[in-house]
Structure 1
Amino acid sequence: MSSSTQPSVSTFTSLEFLAFTLGKEEYGIDIQKVQELRGYDAVTRIANTPEFIKGVVNLRGIIVPIIDMRIKFNLGTPVYDQFTVVIILNIGGRVMGMVVDSVSDVITLTHEQLKPAPQMGAIVEADYLLGLGTIEERMLILLDIDKLMSSTDMGLIEKIAA
């Protein structure tokens, strides 16, 4: 049995997730990682960065890289409208923004409502999934935002923010 430094979702009695949409799917991230929500504003594009890194914004003196999750997960062409939200995250002391189609609510899930992520060809790699959250007829794809934002291809974000 291998030991892990990250607690699994099964070690908690309940967790709160911020629910958001990308395309037709609903996702959730740990609310404790969310610093604030903002409307989508123009960003300053950085040359020679992957397409999913939209650019940077100046947030009260902090240069914040902005990642478009629809592009990152290859979910079609993003549309920026009045519902588009930038979720400002604070992950390990790094501030970054993530563009999503909309934010719906904060959901508390109990251990019984958490299901393991299925091992199949999914848009989001299984490494970045905590599991699935079920709330009546709704199903939330729970992202491990720490792992996703510290993944190899996101390493460029640290360089941009520096």
Structure 2
Amino acid sequence: MSENAPAGLSLGDTDNIDEMYLTFALANEEYGVGIAGVTEIVGMQRIMSVPDVPHYIKGVINLRGKVIPLMDVRLRFGMPERAYDERTVVIVMDVGDAPIGLIVDGVSEVLEIPPAQVDRHTQFGRSASRPVISGIGRIGDRVAVLLDTSVLVSDTDISVPNDLVAAE
């Protein structure tokens, strides 16, 4: 995690990183992504628009010399657009060897959710393709929709053209 991570978000002493999820808010719901793929959390920055991408790809940012495409997760899920504010953050992740930034309303906390507390019913998302929901995590009396980030960003039309990506 980065020094830019909000206070109180740390992995601490974890035994199994595969059971750790970074939870975040979208509208009034709680979602989670596996912490293993999260590289850092940063505040909103100037976004450079990129033509010919889906409406939920807001553009790219230059983060310490690395070009990161940004996906507004609200728009990806068909939710109404919302103005970015001081709580809006970008969760930078490595998904399939490529960085992506997920714009979310705000991060909540890192939670350990053991497999016994995750419902993985196959009826989530009745599309023919793989569902973006990997399960529903139960945390006390709360629930978090756990996302499969590889499916979330799997659309081939969201890749940034190679000439925009800075050489590493």
TM-score between the two structures when normalised by the length of structure 2: 0.79
Q: Does 1:157 align with 2:154?
A: no
Residue identity (%): 34
Q: Distance in 1 between matches of 2:71 and 2:43?
A: 14
Change over 3 Å in CA distance of 1:102–1:61 after alignment to 2: same
Q: Please say which of residues 76-85 and 143-152 is displaced more in the overlay.
A: 143-152
Between structures 1 and 2, the one with greater helix share: 1
Q: Does 1:43 align with 2:47?
A: yes
- Matched residue of 2:159: which SS? helix
Contact in 1 for aligned 2:18/2:35 (Cα 8 Å): no
1:125-136 counterparts in 2 under 5 A? Answer: 127-136=131-140
In structure 2, what is the equivalent of residue 138 of structure 1?
Answer: 142
Contact in 2 for aligned 1:17/1:108 (Cα 8 Å): yes
TM-score between the two structures when normalised by the length of structure 1: 0.82
Out of 21, 33, 52, the position equivalent to 2:25 is 21
Q: CA RMSD in A?
A: 2.2
Q: Could you list the runs of 5+ residues in structure 1 that have no partner in the other structure?
A: 1-11
Contact in 1 for aligned 2:72/2:103 (Cα 8 Å): yes
Deviations 1:53-110 (A, max 9, x none): 1001111111110110011111112220010010001112211101000100001011
Report how many residues are paired. 147
1:96 is aligned with what amino acid?
I
Q: Distance in 2 between matches of 1:68 and 1:42?
A: 14
Change over 3 Å in CA distance of 1:13–1:115 after alignment to 2: farther
Q: Distance in 2 between matches of 1:34 and 1:120?
A: 24
Deviations 1:15-64 (A, max 9, x none): 00000011111100000000000011120001222211100111111111
Q: Could you list the runs of 5+ residues in structure 2 that have no partner in the other structure?
A: 1-15
